[in-house]
Amino acid sequence: MSTRTKVFKVTPTNLSEVIRECAEIIQRGGTVAIPTETVYGLAANALDPIAVNRIFHAKGRPADNPLIVHVASAEQLEQLVSEIPPKALSLIETFWPGPLTLILKRTRIVPDITTGGLNTVAVRMPADIIAQELIRLSGKPLAAPSANISGRPSPTTAFHVLHDLEGKIDAVIDAGNTCIGVESTVIDMSGEKPAVLRPGYISATQIEEVIGEAEIGYSDHVTEAEGIVRSPGMKYTHYSPSATLLLLEGSHDLVLNKIREMYADFTCRGARVGLLVTSSDLFSLTNDMVYLGRKDEPEEVARNLFLGLRSLDEKGVNIILADGSFTQEGVGAAVMNRLRKASEMIIKV
Ligand code: TXA
Ligand code: MG
């Protein structure tokens, strides 16, 4: 395993050199954390079981949680999947390259370890140019889950990647903050009916505009005990900061009042309380606060979400009061999904 993680900071002049060095690491069976438009991913050759095992090992990821395979061309896709149904093709034509992952029936070229033993494989073509070039130059499809320790918030900066994985991976490409901030939408196109298995940047509405009805195959509250979990990853604890997160849902004004009240209550009992909010009105309360963005701008909130969770942890708060009153239109649904999964308790006000 790696003992030192090489950090490649991208500048306008060294990009091709960085990609060349990282492609060599991939070809040797190593692991490289890469930027994508959503979050940083931990990449390795998807077709090399030993390389893929290094990903699982570095993240401490359960073996039954399959990985997304990233491609840069139609040829690579065709190598991995046994069929592309017409609706899947329409989605690919509309949303690729971009933050949409499709589950399709796999070919035997894909190792069991990559798919957690399933007969399907998750595929996506990232829009990020660095990710695309690395796939092209290495000549391999890249398995890449989010580059965090399993269960922690996904990384949106190289600093977060190093915080979790320094010394456990061969390299990281530091290209600054990712644009979107939450992971891709996952849709199962391998069965009779399309089903959204994870909400992401591309909304169910946008998908239905292209292919007609799609089932919602996830719950924000799924636990193992609830039975059928179609996407293995959705049953595990997710996105959790070290602090206890309490999520407040309801109308904006009521949520703000409740946050003020709970802040006073916990603070007076000696807790250090952090706030994750969509209103600058609360600035006066504390410095342990992260402003997620305007409540009607879910893209802003998405971009700042994981960053916010991690920065409150770094400040050392014990409790996070999170504002769940922003719009759930578009990527707002994905933000709410991640917050609910990160929360210890949901409080309706
Ligand atoms: O935006 C993203 O999707 C990022 C970037 C790096 O591309 N990747 C990412 O990967 O979020 P990961 O491993 O953290 O999440 C992949 C999700 C998991 O919930 C996993 O269970 C599900 O996709 N998944 C993968 N293969 C699957 C399959 N064959 N069937 C059902 N679900 C699958
Ligand atoms: Mg993940």
Share of the chain above pLDDT 70, in %: 95
Task: Give yes or no for residue 249 having a pLDDT over 70.
Answer: yes
* Residues 134 and 172 sit within 8 Å (Cβ to Cβ): no
Q: What span, in angstroms and rounded, lies between the C-alpha atoms of 294 and 274?
A: 18
Over residues 32-41, mean pLDDT: 98
**Exposure class string for 268-295: b at 16+ Cβ within 10 A, else e:** eeeeebbbbbbbeebeebeebbbbbbeb
| Owner of token pair 């606060």 | 289
Task: Give yes or no for residue 225 having a pLDDT over 50.
Answer: no
Kindly give, in sequence order, each residue whose CB lies less than 8 Å from that of residue 157, ignoring residues fewer than 6 positions away.
Answer: 40, 176, 177, 178, 307
- Of 170-174, 196-200, 215-219, 331-335, least confident by mean pLDDT is 215-219
The atom of ligand 1 lying closest to the CA of 120 is 29
Ligand 1 proximal residues by C-beta, below 6 Å: 36, 38-39, 41, 65-68, 99, 101, 103, 115, 118, 120-122, 144-146, 183-184, 186, 197-198, 231-234
Confidence at residue 79, expressed as pLDDT on a 0 to 100 scale: 98
**What mean pLDDT is reported for the chain?**
94
**Span from the CA of 68 to the centroid of ligand 1 (angstroms):** 5
Confidence at residue 281, expressed as pLDDT on a 0 to 100 scale: 80
Over residues 272-288, mean pLDDT: 91
Q: pLDDT tens digit string along 79-113?
A: 999 999 999 999 999 999 999 999 999 999 999 99
Dig out the tokens for 100 from the structure.
């949409």
Residue 3 corresponds to which amino acid?
T
Kindly give, in sequence order, each residue whose CB lies less than 8 Å from that of residue 138, ignoring residues fewer than 6 positions away.
Answer: 22, 23, 26, 27, 45
Q: pLDDT tens digit string along 298-317?
A: 999 999 999 999 999 999 99
**Span from the CA of 224 to the centroid of ligand 2 (angstroms):** 17
Confidence at residue 235, expressed as pLDDT on a 0 to 100 scale: 66
Candidate of 67, 68, 197 to mutate for ligand 1, largest count of ligand atoms within 8 Å of Cβ? 68
Residues less than 5 Å from ion ligand 2, measured at CB: 146
Over residues 210-224, mean pLDDT: 84
**Span from the CA of 16 to the centroid of ligand 2 (angstroms):** 28
For atom 13 of ligand 1, which residue has the closest CA?
145
For atom 32 of ligand 1, which residue has the closest CA?
231
Kindly give, in sequence order, each residue whose CB lies less than 8 Å from that of residue 292, ignoring residues fewer than 6 positions away.
Answer: 276, 277, 278, 300, 301, 304, 305, 308, 323, 326
Q: What is the dihedral of CA 106, 76, 25, 150, to 10 degrees?
A: -40
Residue 227, sorted as left (phi over 0), alpha (psi -120 to 50) or beta, turns out to be: left
Confidence at residue 224, expressed as pLDDT on a 0 to 100 scale: 45
For atom 15 of ligand 1, which residue has the closest CA?
145
Q: Which ligand is nearest to the CA of 149?
A: 2
Over residues 30-35, mean pLDDT: 98
For atom 19 of ligand 1, which residue has the closest CA?
233
Task: Give yes or no for residue 227 having a pLDDT over 50.
Answer: no
CA end-to-end span of the chain: 49
Dig out the tokens for 232 from the structure.
């293995």
- CA distances to 142, 153, 221, 259 from 318, rounded to whole Å, are 37, 17, 23, 15
Task: Give yes or no for residue 238 having a pLDDT over 80.
Answer: no
For atom 20 of ligand 1, which residue has the closest CA?
233
Q: What span, in angstroms and rounded, lies between the C-alpha atoms of 165 and 57?
A: 11
For atom 30 of ligand 1, which residue has the closest CA?
231
